[in-house]
Amino acid sequence: MWMVATGGGYVDVPRPTDSTLMSVGDRREFLVDFAQFNDGDTVYMTNLAVPHDMNYGSTNGKALMAFIVDHSLASENPVTTLPSTLVDYELTPGPVFMTREKNLMGSGGSGHVWTIDGTPMDMMVINDTVLVNTKERWVINNQTNKSHPFHIHKVQFQVVEYTEKVGVLDTVATYTHPDLPDELFGFKDVQLIRPGATLIFEARFDSFPSPLHPNQGYMYHCHILTHEDTSMMHQFVVVDSADFYTGLSAIPGTERLEVYPNPATNELYFKGSFEEAGTLTFYDLRGKILRREAIHARDSKAVSVQDLPRGVVIVELFLANKRYISKLSLY
């Protein structure tokens, strides 16, 4: 058979194979040549991953589906040839605007929580803000001892690189576009990440709902139901390139951050104290991260802004369930 498409469209050329590695939510399309079989032959599609001591109780214990060949059923316009190429396929062009790194964490077991970056899913929290029409690179590290099918809404991504440990010696194997195994190739929105493996993909975030409303975040999560439910899932929004600050302001629950002095030169202070530790991020006006750090913001605490470029920047203080933002002039 030949793999001709993934969930996100055609691949470059028909790829001959007799098996493929699928995970939860994954989709592939194949062209299968039944002309080589005789009338009455039974052809099984089997699950090679069924453990030896288990089967589905049918004639062929690993069978998922049986095809009985009947040549009299041939369609009026049968497919008898394969094109040598299907589509012009290349990585999405243009520079990478932002790289994000995510860690899949947790170890399962009773009462245990699977997370992304140690942070459970919270409907009231937007975990990432993406600038519309930019290409991003996401690095997903599986730090657990289970495989996770990573799934993202909104975009079809392309795998740039996949690194995993193989064999009893944990030899590191790295696959890089375009020299990828079939199961890593093509536009897709879900990809299995083995224990200890790292998936790197690129995608262009080409549109967003406008205006933003509550509950309009897009999700990314493990596609195993018990993992996403407990709670290996985060959400992101895509915002307008015309004014990143307006986009941030539109995220539900966002409040104004008061900082002084403004304009500032060397140091910055917060008005008010915040109970929890959080993340402080400086963006430029297009939404590119200039600096990001963990912080416990207090009104007497100085933050150095000496290393930041002069001009207007955006300051964001992101606590566990609250986002505060401000524009800041530096001179």
Q: Which of 67, 51, 5, 64 is nearest to 30 (CA)?
A: 5
Where in 9-68 is the site for Cu ion (CB under 5 A)? none
194 or 291, CB closer to Cu ion?
A: 194
Instruction: Considering the complex, state which of residue 143 and residue 156 has its C-beta at the smaller distance from Cu ion.
Output: 143
Task: Enumerate residues 199-228 that contact Cu ion by CB under 5 A.
Answer: 222, 224, 227
Nearer residue to Cu ion within complex by CB, 148 or 323: 148
Smallest distance, Cu ion to C-beta of residue 193, A: 9
By C-beta, is 116 or 222 nearer to Cu ion? 222
Are residues 191 and 226 in contact, defined by beta-carbon separation less than 8 angstroms? no
# residues near Cu ion by CB under 5 A? 4
Minimal distance in Å, beta carbon 235 to Cu ion?
17
**How near is the Cβ of 150 to Cu ion at its closest, in Å?**
8
User: What is the edge-to-edge ordering of all strands in the sheet holding 303-304?
Assistant: 259-260, 267-270, 303-304
**156: exposed, middle or buried (C-beta count within 10 Å: 0-12, 13-18, 19+)?**
middle
Q: Least distance (Å) from Cu ion to the CB of residue 98? A: 25
Contact status: 102 vs Cu ion (CB under 5 A): no
In angstroms, the CA 171 to CA 320 distance is 38
For residue 222, the minimal CB distance to Cu ion (Å) is 3
- Residue number with CB closer to Cu ion (15 or 148): 148
Indicate the residue among 102 and 227 with the shorter CB distance to Cu ion: 227
Binding string to Cu ion for residues 146 to 175, with x set by CB under 5 A, is what?
Answer: --x---------------------------
Cβ burial 4-29 (10 Å sphere, 16+ → b, else e): bbbebebbebbbeeeeeeebbbbebe
- How far apart are CB 107 and Cu ion at their closest, in Å? 12
147 token code pair: 């495989």
Give the C-alpha separation, 229 to 64, whole Å.
28
Shortest distance, position 111 Cβ to Cu ion, whole Å: 17
Stretch that binds Cu ion, among 140-148, 171-179, 210-218, 275-283 (CB under 5 A): 140-148
Q: Quickly list DSSP for 30-46.
A: EE---TTSPTT-EEEEE
Minimum distance from residue 203 beta carbon to Cu ion (Å): 20
Of 19-27, 93-101, 144-152, 199-207, the window that binds Cu ion (rule: CB under 5 A) is 144-152
The nearer residue to Cu ion, 28 or 223, going by C-beta atoms, is 223
Tokens of 166: 């193989």
* DSSP codes joined into one string, 193-261: E-TT-EEEEEEEE----SS--TT-PEEEEESSHHHHTTT-EEEEEEE-SS-HHHHHHTSTTEEEPPEES
- Report the C-alpha dihedral over residues 9, 236, 184, 207, rounded to 10 degrees: 30
Query: Which residue, 207 or 226, is less far from Cu ion as judged by CB?
Result: 226
Q: Which residues bind Cu ion (CB under 5 A)?
A: 148, 222, 224, 227
